[in-house]
Amino acid sequence: MTAAEAAIRTTGLTKEFGRQKAVDGLDLEVPRGAIFGFLGPNGSGKTTTIRMILGLASATRGDIALLGEPMPSALRSVLPRVGALVEGPAFYPFLSGAANLRRLDAADPPSSSRTRSARVTAALDRVGLRHAAGKKVTAYSLGMKQRLGIANALLAPRDLLVLDEPTNGLDPQGTREVRTLIRSLAEEGTTVFVSSHLLTEIEQLCTHVAVMSAGRLVAQGTLDELREVGRSEVRVETPDTAEAVEVLGRLGLVPVAGASGVTAELDGKLLPERVTAALVEAGVRVRGIAVEHQTLEERFVALTGEGFDVAG
C-alpha cells in the first residue's frame, strides 16, 4: 500500500521522552474507507501516536503521511479534511451546546458564516443532541459531552475522522448511536480511525485493527487476519470416539476424547476440509464438526501479555 492509497501511514514513527520511548518504530497503515480500530492497554502509546499524526506533538523521528500528504509540512492543507476527538472534548461550560459549536465553527477559517446555523443543527442531529441544543454544557452528562465533541468533528465534511475513546462515558443506547453513526460515515466514504481499549466495541464495529503494546505495534490487519493467526480448534461430534482419535492422530494432531466426541488443536497448515474428508473416508460417523478460532480477547492477551476491558 502506497502513502497515497492509505488514509494514514507512518514509517519508523518514534516518540521519546528522555530515555523512555512512548512510541517505538511504528509502521502503521490505515486503508482509505476502513473503520480502523487502534487497540492497546492504557499507556501503550495510542494517544501519543494520535497526537503526532494530527500535528499536536512532534515526533522524535520517523515519517507520517496523512491523506497522502507528508506531515507536518502539509498540516494547513490536510487538517481541514480531518475531524478529531482527542483526550475528551473541552467546551465553555456556561454556553449551550449549539453556542459552543457555533464558536468552534467560527474559529475554523474555511467555514462560511452564512451556513453556520444549518451545519450546527445538522451536526447535533447526527449525534442525537438536537433536543439538548439550548441546554448549557455544564448540565450535560459525560456521554452528552462526548457526543458534542463528535458533533464538533462533523461540522464540515471530512475525509478522515480520528476518535480517541469515542464511547467513553456513554450508556448502552448512546454507544449504539455512536456505533451506527460511525458505520454511516464509513458508508459515505469517510475513513474512521478509532482508538479504544474496549474489545467488544472494536469487534462489532471495525474492519481493520492494529494492536499496540508498550509503545510498539504487535499486530495489524483485518479482523479475520488477526483471528486466523491465533490458535484454532476442531471439534468433532461422533459416537465413534476411538476411531476419530486414531484418524486425527494420523493427520498429525493431538486429539482429546470427550463424552460426545473429540477435540484437537489444528495445525495452521491443515484445512478443516481435509479433517472432514479423512473422517468420512475412515467410516467415522460424524454428527457434527466445527472449527473454533481463538477469541479476539484471547488473541490480544497473547499479543500484549495484558488484559483488556471487554465491555463498556
pLDDT (tens digit, 9 = 90+) per residue, 207-224? 999 988 889 998 898 887
Q: pTM of the predicted model, to two decimals?
A: 0.76
What's the chain's Rg over C-alpha atoms? 24
Residues of the chain above pLDDT 70, percent: 89
Range 262-271 contact pairs with CB under 8 angstroms and sequence separation of 24 or more: 262/235, 262/236, 262/238, 263/233, 263/234, 263/235, 263/236, 264/233, 264/234, 265/231, 265/232, 265/233, 266/232, 266/233, 266/234, 266/291
- Residue 309, pLDDT score: 47
- Residue 131, pLDDT score: 92
**Does the pLDDT at position 308 exceed 60?**
no
Q: For cell 466445527, what's the residue?
A: 290
Higher pLDDT, 259 or 151: 151
The whole-angstrom separation of Cα 287 and Cα 184 is 42
Nearest CA-CA partner of 83 in 180, 158, 178:
158
Higher pLDDT, 159 or 107: 159
Distance of CA 107 to the CA centre of its chain: 30
The whole-angstrom separation of Cα 307 and Cα 300 is 8
* Confidence band of 311 (pLDDT split at 50, 70, 90): very low
**Does the pLDDT at position 201 exceed 50?**
yes
- Residue 310, pLDDT score: 41
The whole-angstrom separation of Cα 275 and Cα 259 is 20
- Residue 171, pLDDT score: 79
DSSP reduced 3-state for 283:
coil
